[in-house]
Structure 1
């Protein structure tokens, strides 16, 4: 009996020990599974941050159970594997469902269960599918990275990472790892969200160095608008824009008033008209304090729904962080305080780390964009410096991406005992005799020039772009391009035109003959990744072709020389089919452009009329002939000095209900003869198809819109204009320091002007000395413009280390004696007064991210010259096309919600970009992402 009792006790003891060992092993496995799931999050985080693909990185899904995965946005459903490999009468996909322990997650993704009516998780495709298996020793993690932006869900603008940690080994080729032999239900599911950042805000101040300082937004003396409401007139429906803002630091508002327009949405099922449960879609998020520069400055919030309708009958007044009345307005206006607002709502905004353009790749040896361009081409055996060696064709732009090796095109800042060089100081000092880059009224920095063409310009059947380089190699020789076969092309020199590195279709390179034609029998087919990367500065302008998405990256500064447009068909009006003006002014919304600069993003207003001929010190003269500023560009008797300027127009836009689209365009010239009258000719878009090769009949009978007219001087030909000649200008005007201020009506049919005003279409204006007159005095041109004009920049802009900046330039009329109420004698009435901006409206339609904003004094400088267009031209009675308007920044919703049918349907369904598995990608290729996660934890 005793032995029996002892044996029972021993058995119980052994059972308890075994049970405890089992529980201990299980709890240990639970911890390991959690660690495996976390490893999956860290892996995806690293790949999104450091891989060549950046924000486009997605693991290849397992897609068990289907032959082809389908695409939910094209309506092509996955094709199930209905074969019967083992002959048991059950389709292969059902065998996998019953045998594979992870089939619920590793099947193909589809928004609903397929076949239709299947129970959740039992079909060959469904919402839980699309994961990828990664093995880690005795376990595995299943990973899914998705980006499903929804304009009604603020969280959807982040990249979502889902990781499922699983215990045990699974191999779809090893039945011993299938059910039921290797059954383990242990798993841990973790979710993380990773922001892109630069696509999500109208203004994003990244504060890369995490400095404890105040960052200004706005401008003293102006009503500051972040976003805009729907206009009251029905002719401009759907023009509303949200103005989301993020600041990694303290924010200080400047201006007469600040008006914020932010959108929100009600939760599904919430009663109409309710405002207590609003979900902010746009928000002001400040990871610090919110301040105002003046206690009398008022900040107003207008909340709108996702259709642009005002939610509140009156704007809500917002207060600084230190005010007892501070309110988040239901989460629309938050600072970094740990306290709550007057309604006990949370504030507490935390910092988001900025993306890095120079982020090293996974090997830590080069940056991501060098990997996607310089290391993306083939190598060929060719002759280099007289020796046969292998040449990397990507060095000359012939890779998946386009690489530009212009590392000498940079403006290094310096400090010396007697001062140094800074770009900012250079930009703000026009006419500085100490500047290398100011050429009369033009600022010409060292840079590779990129011109985006919307169509095929060289006859190879593909839309193309042009790169113009003027830098030198390490040996001091001028850079010369090589073709895609590695051959030196002396006939190209520093200029090449090539197809875009199209991320959707790639590009075909044909062998170009010396006469410029193509040998179609010799070709190379290259994949495209949509990236252009330059080691030095870039100057850029132009229009994208239909459906093109492009990311342009500079290791230095990017200068924007004029319009940067999504594709527009000039034959199609900007109005949509419903008759309401398109909020994107007729743009092809399948286009996308990002400009990423390691240093600064700069709008170069002096290049809106961009000189095409090279300007040196010999081409620049002093107005007073004493070597002192102001300066002008000299047009001499040499044909090489003829001034050739390129310019184009953006789509007209005005929120002023009384403004009208322009019908008349005027050419303005401020110029003078050196020591006597100068006789000039001008050509507009010269070609043999135009009468007299497009020469302008400046000396014919014409009338300006204000009624001022010109009577032809019959002793001279109709195409000759006498600058400083008393028969053309008021006596004494136009010679020496007293410049003539001329205006010519380009819309007058008698002047022979064939001006092209279609958005994005380039015009060429050429001015030279007349060769039929005896007097050949130089013509000194100090100002040139066509009014009215719109400049539109449709792009995501990011300055990693520096700022977004606008070069103010000098006043178009620099004569301080020519002011309202006292117009100078001899100046055309339509010519601007001193201190009066041109009728040229600049609109940034995209998103701006920068390390820190420009100093408020610098903003005042450029706003003075571009921020407030007068109601009338000069002393005339003629109204301008943008009265009371000026420099404007708008947020392009496509940056945060990249659908081409955005605002066209209640729920957009046409992504601008997808990968080959139908997964949505950001608007532009290979974007960098924030190095931080904004959430890491249990499934949300």
Structure 2
């Protein structure tokens, strides 16, 4: 039994060896599966970590790129340079000058750095940080010109550019390009070069920053985003925004008329509104708008019988549409954008399913605080740009800020009391609008007879050197009295100059060349050995009102800023050479006497921009209240100026001609006439008149007013109210007579009709006659005349305005209708004299861009258009045609404002900027302009 049991145990213990191996294999397989699963898990976790890290890196790169956009946006908005701000480029790969600018070789191209290929191979950002050049050179190229800004463990590369091109609709805007890059790069640390853990990851973002005030013919900014209606045009007057070439003899006169309104727009006009906008045709036949009507609200017609006609044209002015396109109101089911040329604020599509929506853009702000948030840009550029010196002030030695007296990089004028604060009282208060519309109203101290003389510093722009220092200059006259004391200027060394008084002549703050200031002795002689060299930034800033006129010198760019209102009192011209005759050829590139389009002028007012038509013939002498009277003696308009025997009361006035322009007249004027509405006070008044008096002219420039009228009196004496000169009883007291005098050489009139040249006219009582009754002057004008304003105009808080003035002929009985019935004019009125209710033959043209916060009330527009909007066909009752028949106040968009290129309209592909910075980068037309508060686009590269 024992043996049997042992056999049994032995049999059970002898299991196959394979059974043990299978268990081991299974165990190992399980371990491998677990290991594989673990590896996959670890790989997945690792991959997710890497992916998470990459997403994090992508997000960081995007944040870095966005930081670059925000930085550039802030600098353009708040920095001292404004629209001129550009970061200093790295300019890798080329030889640079000590100031960082690129050295240009004899071949006209950048000089390559000896080690530029090493930079290319080692610098991770070389393709962007190399110097910019429009063609690919390897060491420089079109992708270059960026600046590096380190940001912790990353960096952003930034390029800000402005490349105007009339064929590119985006080229009016400042382009911001930002590239976000991971990692630290230091040119002095080889461990940060390529191959040392450097990442190719990047995020590129593009943004566009509009300047706004240079982009449109009319820009209504609606600064405070008010829910109100704005208007363009005037009832009963045709409205043209832009134009084609008038005829085959007037080439290159075409203009576009882009408009932007941050709100609702109502159009006013006669039967028709004509709009001309430019677009570019692509190779595929598409038409891309370069100029548009952009209304961030609803567009309406005040009169439903008015038609809005759009003519689209190419950049060269040739029309694309043979028949104008009819535009419609926003609520019309057939509203069309005309291919994107006219868009409103609707979220709907037009009749062709094209998008319409236009959104508001925040306007530029003149008084935006700088980066320190303590002072605004234009104070930094002027008041705080001068040297500080020790000087004598009220008998005590103190530190003097020369910038306070205009001797900084810009010119500061501290006339803070030259302002017109509006008020409300029980008897009505004071408003500027009421003051401008109601001549000699009792609430206003600023009307002197027919002349409106507002408080303000007077700035006259001269095109040449007037004080012998070899530099073109401007004249500034302070009319304020700070502390009750008449203002006295100080010189550039801080010394008070009583002999200068309130008037100083100084060189322009030239942004290209600066200015050299020479000391002068008490007699005005230059001390050539004593001088100062001042940098210039092209800015003039005044705390109060500004009154301005004149012509810029060649190549000058200037920005004039007022903390109050700017009054334009005559021509504001780009330089024109008076020695060059008008070019009558059909192919004349500039039919307006060769304007220097490298000039630019911007007028920026915190309150209003106002054309003061009453100062076109500007009195140079001060007119006291006792020298102003009511024609009828009842203290009601019209009013006149009284000239007495006192030399101080002599009527002295200045005027200048702008270049003639007319789309309807056949030729430029060749004859000019002096128009006087006048009378004697209490009896006949005998007067003399001088035109441009100088010893080099016969009789010192005395006009021969009496050349053939009354032979027994000298030819230079005119007897107002004398029965030999006027009908008996006329020309005395309230019976004003209206005389016309020829201004030709036969009458000893040496008139300067070249654009921008100042003429001086003086009227005084004759000192040789036995009777010397006072002389009453009710109106003075020279016709025909052009007043041209070539400038960027911006009224930040207020409006663009035109002071209508009183009718030149205030007699309501003397109308064209009355003459057509009777065939007679009232006694004492010459046939050539204007009728009551008809404008003078003085055409006002604004050639630039007009931006304003709100438009003036339409009733006010009707007031000024009635007096300046429709010049008659003939002078009074004569058959002599006017120089601007049927024309009047005109606003044109200057291409050189939107595309500031010196060779614009001279070549098919203009490429020469009017202004550049020291690195050769194009800048806007005028220096230190403000930019819009919002970005037009932010997103992927365009």
Task: Please give the alpha-carbon distance, in whole angstroms, between the structure 2 residues aligned to 1:203 and 1:226.
Answer: 9
- Match 2:572 to one of 564, 570, 583: 564
Look up the match of 1:182. 197
- Residue of 340, 360, 378 corresponding to 1:331: 340
| Worse-matched range after superposition: 387-396 or 64-73 | 64-73
| Distance in 1 (alpha carbons) for counterparts of 2:282 and 2:289 | 14
Paired residue total = 904
- Aligned match of 2:556 in 524, 530, 548? 548
**In the alignment, what sits opposite 1:369?**
378
CA deviations on 1:777-801 (whole Å, 9 max, x unpaired) are: 1101010000000000000000000
1:388 partner SS: strand
Match of 1:745 in 2: 742
What residue number does 2:533 align with? 525
Instruction: Please tell me whether residue 655 in structure 1 is matched to residue 663 in structure 2.
Output: yes
SS in 2 for 1:427: helix
Equivalent-residue separation in structure 1 for 2:108 and 2:360 (angstroms): 41
Report if aligned partners of 1:300, 1:315 keep a CA contact under 8 Å in 2.
Answer: yes
Residues 1:819 and 2:834 aligned together = no
The within-5 A match list for 1:374-453 is 374-453=383-462
Distance 1:279 1:51 in 2: 34
The change in CA–CA distance for 1:917 and 1:5 in structure 2 (over 3 A counts) is same
* Aligned-residue offset at 1:15: 4.1
Judge conservation of contact 2:61–2:181 (CA < 8 Å) in 1.
yes
Q: Name the CA distance, whole Å, in 2 between partners of 1:835 and 1:538.
A: 31
Please give the secondary structure, in 2, of the residue aligned with 1:375.
helix
Which blocks of at least 5 consecutive residues in structure 1 are unaligned? Answer: 83-91, 115-122, 272-276, 702-710
2-structure distance, mates of 1:881, 1:257? 25
Provide the rounded CA distance (Å) in 1 between the counterparts of 2:407 and 2:660: 37
The alpha carbon displacement at 1:267 in A equals: 4.1
Q: Distance in 2 between matches of 1:884 and 1:363?
A: 54
Contact 2:388 2:399 in 1 (8 A): yes
Matches within 5 A, 1:792-831: 792-820=788-816, 821=819, 822=822, 823-831=825-833
Measured in 2, the distance between the counterparts of 1:728 and 1:653 equals 36
- Structure 2 residue aligned with 1:206: 221
Query: Within 1, Cα distance between the matches of 2:452 and 2:397?
Result: 42
Deviation, 1:227, is 0.6
Structure 1 residue 262: Cα displacement: 2.9
**How far did 1:677 drift?**
0.4
- Can you list the C-alpha shifts for 1:422-454, whole angstroms capped at 9, x where unaligned? 111100001323310000000000000000000
Q: How does 1:662-701 map to 2 (within 5 A)?
A: 662-701=669-708
Q: Aligned-pair distance for 1:373?
A: 0.6
Q: Which runs of 5+ in 2 are unaligned?
A: 1-27
Matched, 1:100 2:96: no
CA drift at 1:629: 2.9
Higher alpha-carbon deviation: 60-69 or 625-634: 625-634
The match for 2:279 among 265, 272, 283 is 265
> How far apart are the structure 2 equivalents of 1:922 and 1:574?
29
Question: 1:729 aligned to 2:726?
Answer: yes
Aligned twin of 1:896: 898
For the residue of structure 2 that corresponds to 1:722, the secondary structure is: strand
Is the contact between residue 539 and residue 558 of structure 1 (CA under 8 Å) also seen in structure 2? yes
CA drift of 1:825 comes to 2.1
What is aligned with 1:924?
926
Matched residue, 1:498: 506
The structure having more radius of gyration, on CA atoms, is 2
| 2:318 matched residue in structure 1 | 309
Change (3 A) 1:560 1:203: same
Secondary structure at the counterpart of residue 923 of structure 2: coil
Paired with 1:338 and 1:855, the residues of 2 have a C-alpha distance of 29
Tell me the residue number matched to 1:252.
Answer: 266
Match of 2:156 among 132, 136, 141: 141
Which whole-Å CA distance do the structure 2 matches of 1:832 and 1:628 have between them? 22
Q: After alignment, is 658-667 or 890-899 more displaced?
A: 658-667
Contact 2:539/2:559 (8 A) holds in 1: yes
Pairwise CA distance, 1:27: 1.5
Pick from 542, 546, 559 the counterpart of residue 538 of structure 1: 546
Question: CA RMSD of the aligned region, Å?
Answer: 1.6
Give the corresponding residue for 1:470. 479
- Secondary structure of the equivalent of 1:235? coil
After superposition, the C-alpha distances for 1:196-231 in whole angstroms (9 at most, x for unaligned) are 000011100001111111111011011111111122
2:784 equivalent to 1:788: yes
5 Å-filtered alignment, 1:211-250, equals 211-232=226-247, 234-250=248-264
1:939 to 933, 938, 941: 941
CA drift at 1:71: 9.2
Mark the CA change 1:217 to 1:20 in structure 2 (over 3 Å): closer, same or farther.
same
Q: Conserved in 2, the CA contact under 8 Å of 1:236 and 1:581?
A: no
How many angstroms apart in 1 are the aligned matches of 2:344 and 2:380? 39
- Residue of structure 2 equivalent to 1:25: 53
**Is the counterpart of residue 166 in structure 1 residue 181 in structure 2?**
yes
Which of 26, 37, 60 is residue 65 of structure 2 equivalent to?
37
In 2, distance between residues paired with 1:535 and 1:72? 43
Structure 2 Cα separation of the partners of residues 292 and 20 of structure 1: 62
Paired with 1:74 and 1:49, the residues of 2 have a C-alpha distance of 39
- The equivalent of 1:598 in structure 2 is 606
State the TM-score, normalizing by the size of structure 1: 0.94
CA offsets 1:77-124 (integer angstroms, 9 cap, x no match): 211112xxxxxxxxx11111111110010000011111xxxxxxxx11
